[in-house]
Chains A and B, each alone.
Chain A
């Protein structure tokens, strides 16, 4: 079965969410809300209530980055300070923890931030070529619903979107 992609544009969130609600209630059998992607100029504050909870792994990456940073910070400083063991320390420790904490803290934040940004780039699927169905009107003031489904569902979906005053519907067949 060939697959198709369909994008419907709406003038506001209410109409788009009404269409998603119909999909959630299986008005188009075979198409579920998990297939839906909402494209919008802003993030609607209640989007999770409409689409259901979808995971984001950003906080896990942040934690990993923070742990990496603090570990790197300690070993980086300690390995440099350990090269001075041949020099007299005047009774001071070779690896002084209190002063090293300052830089370990800075490394913790630096690495946490770098890992967070990496997680964002991966999680948000940036650096990918945009799908051909993208509409510039979405960055202006319209809300889009995009689905990638079997070709046979395209027509029922068009009908559903038209019932909810879709301003424009675009479709394409995925080769």
Chain B
């Protein structure tokens, strides 16, 4: 396996050439993916039109299952949005330069998953034509949303996160859009000229760019955590069994990071294939992403166990009965599938042989997200079917209308994402150049200084002979050399 995150001998001109080629000449697989996404979206549109004309009952969405697949899928998409921008921001602040070839598509994933998630409350409400009632606007009826409700917090938090994530993605793309502008023709030239805002790469622009990007990254981290904590409040602030749990905010955040990381692996493998990005989306970077996913999977597993233990040893009888029902009741096959896919399957990521096998990782990453979708469904549905009131006990199963809309949302997300990566470079050209420059010049300069110090120091600290060891862990720059 290649040992370096990136080949440091790639010429800068070659980077431009490779990435710009991806905007025009993808593999056939790209167009097949576009076709599949369109077909899935068509299913959702048919189902939504039917539901819009006849009513919400046609999806078998009825009392007590008022929140079913739509809200479970809403949480799933919100969760998936977390890894892109959040991880990009964290890795940017900590100077983890291996993020550079992959952060652009991860951030795009955030923006489009949020746009997909935002559709579900609208679809779930049913009366689309009255959606504007939820907006806080001055009306002669003097009606305002209830600002004490987590549902309103949700709307504000998602709007803030969508706006800032989209701005973060856009600001980070401006230098690359200028490169596209300088190399494009026809309608693309006009588009990139408008989008690059007159960027020319002078020191004033870079200076302000660096500060802006850093400030945005710093604000995005607490924002991302707050958004999913607020989504968890939709449940945790109720008194429903299975939802009124103190650990829900960190549990939701960990689940969000987990599904987002798994999605990054899936998209990483697809883009690497579609656009022939083997030189940029390298195996060491995939390896690091897999290790990160494994670590987060273990955190998620731990929080699951904590939740089970606190319910089991607690005094809430109804919550305990619900927990037992999850393991043994009508939803048990899905609950066990969630546990196996979410907590056992990630152990494949612990083995290097499997981690570096692309087909295996592609299948595993998809299955991990199936597990995470089941997790959201297992949060929503069992509580609704087995709540405090025995007369309200009822197990309901979604029919084709709900399933088509859920499946179609994957088509909608996929289509937006595939259009994006065909128009905007999915590998950041200037950041890859920075990565190579840093590794080739700055890191090597540090090594030269260390070697020079060792050679001239007759008795180095610790009694080691000069130049005795080829590599000193923790020495700045050595890991990049």
A: which residues have CB within 8 A of B? 37-43, 45, 47, 51, 54, 56, 58-59, 62, 76-77, 80-81, 83-84, 96, 99-100, 102-103, 105-107, 109-110, 112-114, 116-117, 119-121, 123-131, 134, 136, 138-141, 146
Contact = CB atoms under 8 A, between A and B. Distances in A.
A81 B183 CA distance: 54
Nearest to B227: A106
A47 B209 contact: no
A124 B147 CA distance: 38
Nearest to A126: B197
Interface of B: 11-13, 16, 136, 142, 144, 147-148, 152-153, 156-157, 159-160, 163-164, 167, 171, 174, 178-179, 182-183, 197-212, 215-216, 219, 222-223, 226, 230, 430, 433-434, 437-438, 442
A129 B230 CA distance: 44
Judged by DSSP, the binding face of A is helix
B219 A109 contact: yes
Contacts of B136: 76, 80
Contact of B430 (A39, A42, A51, A96): A42
11 contacts: A37-B203, A40-B203, A45-B442, A47-B203, A83-B144, A103-B156, A131-B200, A139-B179, A140-B13, A141-B12, A141-B13
A104 to B, nearest CB: 10
B153 A141 contact: no
A106 B156 contact: yes
Contact of B215 (A58, A121, A128, A140): A58
Most B-side CB within 10 Å, residue of A62, A106, A114: A106
Nearest to A47: B203
A129 B171 contact: no
A110 B166 CA distance: 12
B243 to A, nearest CB: 18
A3 B450 CA distance: 48
B200 A138 contact: yes
Contacts of B167: 113-114, 117
Contacts of A127: 197-198
B226 A120 contact: no
A83 B143 CA distance: 9
Contact of A99 (B148, B201, B211): B148
A116 B215 CA distance: 8
A139 B226 contact: no
A174 B136 CA distance: 53
Nearest to A79: B144
Given A103-B153, A120-B208, A113 B203 contact: no
A24 B153 CA distance: 55
B13 A40 contact: no
Contacts of A123: 204, 208
A58 B198 CA distance: 19
A56 B179 CA distance: 24
A58 B219 contact: no
Contact of B433 (A42, A120, A146): A42
Given A121-B197, A130-B198, A141-B12, A56 B206 contact: no
Contacts of A124: 199, 204-205, 208-209
Given A119-B212, A136-B182, 17 more contacts: A39-B202, A41-B430, A42-B206, A47-B203, A56-B207, A62-B219, A100-B147, A103-B153, A106-B223, A107-B156, A109-B164, A109-B222, A124-B199, A124-B205, A126-B174, A141-B12, A141-B13
A41 B12 contact: yes
Contacts of A40: 201, 203, 206
Contacts of B157: 106
A59 B206 contact: no
A39 B163 CA distance: 30
A125 B156 contact: no
A64 B162 CA distance: 22
Nearest to A136: B182
Given A124-B205, A126-B198, A43 B434 contact: yes
A78 to B, nearest CB: 10
B12 A80 contact: no
Contacts of B207: 43, 47, 54, 56
A128 B198 contact: yes
B147 A77 contact: yes
Nearest to A86: B142
B16 A117 contact: no
Nearest to B16: A140
B200 to A, nearest CB: 5
Contact of A39 (B159, B182, B200, B438): B200
Contact of B163 (A76, A113, A128, A139): A113
Contact of B171 (A42, A103, A117): A117
A125 B210 contact: no
A125 B442 CA distance: 30
Most A-side CB within 10 Å, residue of B164, B203, B223: B203
A9 to B, nearest CB: 12
A64 B434 CA distance: 31
B147 A43 contact: no
